[in-house]
Amino acid sequence: MYPAYMGSSQGQSPCHSLSRLCLPLSVGERRKRDALSLQRERGRPSMTASPSSCGGLEVLLSTLQNAGDVESTINILNVLDELLSAGTNHRIHYMISKGCSEALLTALVNTGRSFSPNFNLLLPLLHLLAKVGHRDRRIGVKAEAAGAPLLTLNLLRQNIKHARRAAACLWVIQVFSSSVSTANLIGENHGLETIYRIIPHFTTKHLHAIKAAIDAFAALLCTRANVCSVVSQGYVSGLLRLYEDWHAKAIQHAAVAICHSLLRCLHKVTRSSAGRQALVSHGGIRLLYGTTQTCLLRRGLESLVEPSVQLMRRCLTKTPLPLTSDRSAYSFPVPGREHAGPATDPQPDENSEESDDTEAEVSEEADFEDDLETDLNKLRFRPEPDRPKELLPQYSRLCPELSHDFQELCLCSEPEESSVTSSSSSSDEDAALLNGLQLPRSGTCCRWSDSSTSSSASDTGSHKPAASQLEARDFHSHGSILSTRTKAREASDEARQGHSEEHQDEEDESHHRSMIDSLLEKHGVCIPHHEPQLYRAAAATTRSIPGFSVLAFPDFWGHLPTPGLEPMAPRKPNVQRQKVFEDVQRFLITEGIINQVVFDLEDSSLQCPSDSLRFFSKFECGNLRKAVQVRRWEYDLILNADANSSQHTQWFYFEVSNMVAEVPYRFNVINCEKSNSQFNYGMQPVLYSVRDALEGRPHWVRTGTEICYFRNHFCPARGRRTTTFYTLTFSITFKHNEDVCYLAYHYPYTYSALKAHLKVLQESVDPDRVFFQQQVLCCTLAGNPCPVVTITACPASRAWKDMHQLRNRPCIVLTGRVHPGESNASWVMKGTLEFLCSSDPVAQSLREAFVFKLIPMLNPDGVVNGTNRCDLSSEDLNRQWSNPDPVLSPTIYHAKGLLYYLSSVGRTPLVFCDYHGHSRKKNVFLYGCSVKETLWQSGSTVNTVGLKEDPGYRVEKSRSATARVVVWREMGVLRSYTMESTHNGCDQGIYKGLQTGTRELQEMGVKFCLSLLSVTKDVKSLYSHMDNDVLDHKSHNCFEDDEPPCVEEIEYSADCAALNAADLDSDVNANTTDADEEEEGDEGHGEAKLRRGSVGQSLQSSTRGRLFPPAM
């Protein structure tokens, strides 16, 4: 409770005892007050409560509304002003809650309605109302109910020649305009016209009043109706001319503040498309560009740069992407869908947690605290399986460790024989996968030649260089050296051709193979677990939508981690500003703009200019749809949407050649969709140089300078004009002339690389110790086999005890690469696979303790075709786990079936982990499932009533269909996780400040394996020994970006910073003490000053006076 007002004796005015008024006191002050009250009560007889004992603030406000005494009213206003100035936010809002705003409005109406208002009373009343009203969110509604807005507008019109009075009215109008209805009311009564016509060109007089007029004008532009009125009356042009004039002569701080206010008006106007068009048509962008360049040269005007830049960005004309269609260049006939219209594009998952963050802004209605664990039914009962139990035995073939007899343990056979036995596949289908043969094709057939291959013959001619003569430029993808064409694959085509063509193809194939063999012998580098010829054979059986027939050199040749660690790239100050200026220059100055398409994925006949970079992306994992040369050294790049879709553009991987060394090339990826990126926080794309690889440096390296990521002015080519695109821009200086380089979003890892890697691992394991078996989980929509790998330790013997221990080892299931653009997940999985197959003692211990089931790539089709998030059915497979379709999502359906089977035979996995990558967070981290629900499921006796859930272990509705949640909830896997690996680097630990490379990613795969040493089968005992203090730990919200706002504003949707309460108070106080105008000056002198200038616009009537004359 707040202390009561201690009134004076009867007959005294309350204002005589105002010094006794107390609002929220400290604890010590309250104690002293209570002690004094107690002493007074003891020293005098009891008496009934009198009006003097009621709240002091209420007495003041009541007196303010009813008093007719001018002196008393002024004294009350002064006291309230002192309380407001000295009080905290709590005290101010307490005053508002007690009716301070209503009392001031009533006093204003009562005083202002008189025939000749007393401005000695009105001025302090208006000043105080402006201060209080700015802090009262409902001031506009209250003012409209009291009839104050139009009264104030009339007072302004009556005192247009008196700067102090006009300024006070303008501040009050400004705070009233916080209500849309009140702003519209003022606008309908010509308030905008009145205020606009009193804003002068540059002057040194009455700056605070001029600023008040502009701020009030900006405040009224909060409504669409007022903005339309301003545009229709041509005020946009006038505002631009005013800004130009004030900016040209702004040498004082106050004048700079007026420029800010004018920019605020322009920001408000350009919220509408009509306002933006008006600004552009009247040369606003050119004007702002010129004034901004001046600001950069004058230190005092730097604060005007950012709002000007944002205004220019907002008003740049929306430009459709230079595409014939927004849909992907790759379409695939999905079963059950018409080929012409494969499906409606899925909406962005605004709360995507499993690897990423998404492009759309989070809806205001999104509830991050919406946790499914509040549903007791879901807590207590496990959902029924989504398929009959009779279908589960088919997955017994994927548990070879349960049926294998290990007869080789009793035979003295040679190691090669035991290797075949312990590591062989269990079906003809598996054998086909392991031996690199084609599986029978179903559905659509993929062609194995394209225009690039056919055109290569004419490019190379009959001249076949020897391997010793090959240079980096000979390995561009338009050549046929790295073609996947083989005699076996082309047998059917050759049968239909003449004998001469058959002989020529065989000769070319033999020549290419011999060249590659010689090249590898001369320049090849020993890369662990990579064999180029094995990769070529694996790629020959990979099926893609366009029928890729060319290998990307880095995938074929291989990659070694860089010798040293790579730090995060420093962000150059104001780099985004500079890039925006260059975009504005493109709009304003067409000289030097080329705008020529130099690469089109859909037009293989396009001829590239001789002096332009050459691009290519028609290879496995590649993604680049179109390249446009903007200037001599600058290119706009457009990414291909996910197959059968028109969105999900982030991943890129393409070849570039024909470059000039030591020249900075700028690349702009202009159709990115995510609202932020780690490219703003030190991340760099990766580059692979063919020349460096041939010289013994086969590295993917982080590269690029002047990197930034920001919203742009592009829009879709067809429809969805509200879609927001972002630009990733970076500059690269190539080291070698006529090199062939590859650029990628992150370290690529192809499906063919996985197939080749598994075959190498199979041949490298020790068959006496390692049970390694690769099988086919299923085939994808395109017919690519999805491999599943079983790894465990071979039993010491065929004795019952050893075999029993093997059959009862708990399972650990690991999956990865459900999102194709998260190639870092594959590198982590690579580290896990190599460690589990190694001779490391810890790896052997893990193999003896567990049976590992690994599905390294859940979305092979997406990886092959260079998509970012979806498969060929345009679905996010990590949102299909609740009810996967066996036809449209076969890998998820059968992976879930395998998990169902393991659970049905009493081998529920001890741990499940899905490997992902995250594009908007740093570090490597885990998402788990609800600790509370896990404790309930495990039967723990831990009291969970007061347990606070870690945000990283929340199970929200938007994640209920992900692998982590479904495996945990439906299969009862208590330790079910998603492991996220950054695309950038770390901000903590031993790698703090460094970008992660493939070495560090593989190391994370090893570290995850090492963490499994601590896993125990006795889950109940594990949780029963935990107390609430251990479980009730703190964590930041993992579902939100962990980065602070970027140094530069990525979005341009925000307006100029609104006038805050402190600034308004300062302006009002300055008006209170301002003595530059005598309010009692004679009217003749005022009229003489009015004749010294005009408002400067044709819209102003010559019959209307003007308040503030320009300086003579």
Give the active site residues. 980
Q: Which residues, 6+ apart, have CB-to-CB distance to 281 below 8 Å?
A: none
Cα–Cα distance measured from residue 535 to residue 558, given in angstroms and rounded to the nearest whole number: 9
Helical ranges in 17-99 per DSSP H: 27-43, 56-66, 70-86, 89-97
Cα–Cα distance measured from residue 547 to residue 783, given in angstroms and rounded to the nearest whole number: 13
For residue 498, what are its two tokens? 């003449």
DSSP 385: P
**Sequence letter at residue 590:** T
- Across 471-480, b (16+ Cβ under 10 Å) vs e yields ebbebbbbbb
Measured N-to-C along each axis, helices 100-112 and 148-158 cross at an angle, to the nearest 10 degrees, of: 50
On whether the CB atoms of residues 357 and 943 are closer than 8 A, the answer is: no
Cα–Cα distance measured from residue 723 to residue 4, given in angstroms and rounded to the nearest whole number: 58
Q: Which of 142, 13, 129, 20 is nearest to 66 (CA)?
A: 13
SS3 969: helix
On whether the CB atoms of residues 279 and 266 are closer than 8 A, the answer is: yes
SS3 161: coil
Q: Which of 569, 574, 532, 572 is nearest to 551 (CA)?
A: 532
For residue 207, what are its two tokens? 């700056």
Cα–Cα distance measured from residue 954 to residue 221, given in angstroms and rounded to the nearest whole number: 42
On whether the CB atoms of residues 548 and 688 are closer than 8 A, the answer is: no
For residue 511, what are its two tokens? 């020549």
For residue 19, what are its two tokens? 């010094």
Cα–Cα distance measured from residue 974 to residue 993, given in angstroms and rounded to the nearest whole number: 34
On whether the CB atoms of residues 540 and 484 are closer than 8 A, the answer is: yes
For residue 233, what are its two tokens? 């009356």
Distance of CA 597 to the CA centre of its chain: 29
For residue 334, what are its two tokens? 């999905």
Q: Name the β-bridge partners of 924.
A: 981
For residue 114, what are its two tokens? 């008189």
DSSP 202: S
Q: What are the φ and ψ backbone dihedral angles of 328, each rounded to 5 degrees?
A: -60, 150
Strand pairing category for 596-600 and 740-744: unpaired
Q: Which residues, 6+ apart, have CB-to-CB distance to 388 below 8 Å?
A: none
Q: Is 783 left (phi over 0), alpha (psi -120 to 50) or beta?
A: left
For the chain, the maximum distance between any two Cα atoms, rounded to a whole number of angstroms, is 128
Cα–Cα distance measured from residue 622 to residue 272, given in angstroms and rounded to the nearest whole number: 40
Cα–Cα distance measured from residue 17 to residue 8, given in angstroms and rounded to the nearest whole number: 6
* Look-up of token digits 């919203």: 711
Distance of CA 298 to the CA centre of its chain: 35
Strand pairing category for 740-744 and 686-689: antiparallel
